Copies of this chain bind each other. A is one copy, B any other.
Amino acid sequence: MNEKIKTGDFVLLYLDDKRKWLIKVEEDKEFHTHKGIVNLSDVINKQWGSTIESTMGVKFALLRPALSDIVVNVSRNTNIIYPKDAGLILLNTRIGPGSLVVESGTGSGAFTTVLAYHVRPTGHVYSYEVRKEFIKTAKKNIERLGLSEFVTFKNENICMGIEERNIDAVVLDMATPWKVVEHAYNALKAGGFFVSYSPTIEQVMRTVVALKKSNGFADLKTVEVFVRDILVRSNKTRPSTRMIGHTGYLTFAKKKIKEN
């Protein structure tokens, strides 16, 4: 129930819609903006939602970031599973407190963050990634968020197999998800969920073919999610001119026991 900002917390430093930054609070650091410098030491022990003055006398709100603020920030410059997609993954599976989840690849740890946050306090995330430098980045991101105990990073190629068993959900964000379908079947417990996130339709096609051929999955469903911003302003309310037209397709399947 901590209502005070402390060292290590992420804060959304907010001036207006176009000028907001996610910063980590550290002693003896400064944050420079066009509206002056904010001394981060001064942020410590302030209440969430209070304001702070920059050296130029401009007031910034110290907002508590949403999970999506963190996710988007973590993932600068890498492909990620966007909040809109991450949310539907939670709903179209049973991933939640206590879940055991396998994911691949880790990337910068954006979706790992979402998973780790939501499987607390008794669940766990096993995150596969072949590129060492990504694991390093993701580990740092997860540590900064205090979620390390819920994640095991594995510098392994998930196409070669999944060691874990009795898993609740396997979530794939990688180039060749179809190569993981049988490994997912073996790793999933009875009643488990398969999820794949792919930018191209050919990836979807190949994955669905593999899921059908496997005979170990049912209730296949592929969707795409769009989000559009609405600008609500007195007498000038309208949707935003630009929007994201595509991130990736989501394919969902439920494990069924193979029969002879």
- Give the interface of A toward B (CB within 8 A): 1, 3, 12, 14, 17, 20, 47-51, 61, 63-64, 66-68, 71, 83-84, 86-94, 96-98, 114, 117-118, 120-122, 166, 189-193, 199-202, 204-205, 208-209, 218-232, 234-247, 249, 251-252, 254-257, 259
With A200-B237, A201-B238, A227-B224 as given contacts, are A193 and B257 in contact (CB-CB < 8 Å)?
no
With A246-B239, A259-B51 as given contacts, are A83 and B88 in contact (CB-CB < 8 Å)?
yes
Listed A/B pairs (27) with beta-carbon separation below 8 Å: A3-B166, A3-B190, A12-B254, A14-B254, A20-B219, A49-B190, A49-B254, A50-B257, A51-B256, A51-B259, A64-B193, A66-B252, A66-B254, A67-B92, A71-B91, A86-B87, A90-B118, A97-B118, A200-B238, A201-B201, A223-B228, A226-B226, A228-B245, A239-B246, A242-B243, A242-B244, A243-B243
Instruction: Report the minimal beta-carbon distance from A105 to chain B, rounded to whole angstroms.
Output: 18
Q: Write out the residue numbers on chain B whose beta carbons fall within 8 Å of the beta carbon of A12.
A: 219, 254
With A47-B257, A96-B120 as given contacts, are A229 and B245 in contact (CB-CB < 8 Å)?
yes
**A235 CA / B67 CA spacing, docked (Å):** 34
Instruction: Report the minimal beta-carbon distance from A194 to chain B, rounded to whole angstroms.
Output: 11
**A196 CA / B218 CA spacing, docked (Å):** 35
With A86-B91, A87-B86, A91-B86 as given contacts, are A48 and B238 in contact (CB-CB < 8 Å)?
no
Instruction: Identify the closest chain B residue to A62 (Cβ).
Output: B256
Instruction: Report the minimal beta-carbon distance from A74 to chain B, rounded to whole angstroms.
Output: 13
Instruction: Report the minimal beta-carbon distance from A193 to chain B, rounded to whole angstroms.
Output: 7
A3–B48 CB distance below 8 A: no
**A237 CA / B238 CA spacing, docked (Å):** 13
Q: Write out the residue numbers on chain B whose beta carbons fall within 8 Å of the beta carbon of A121.
A: 97-98, 121-122
A245–B239 CB distance below 8 A: yes
Q: Write out the residue numbers on chain B whose beta carbons fall within 8 Å of the beta carbon of A234.
A: 209
Instruction: Identify the closest chain B residue to A243 (Cβ).
Output: B245
Instruction: Identify the closest chain B residue to A226 (Cβ).
Output: B226
10 closest pairs, A vs B, by CB? A87-B87, A48-B191, A243-B245, A64-B191, A239-B246, A48-B190, A83-B91, A49-B256, A226-B226, A222-B230
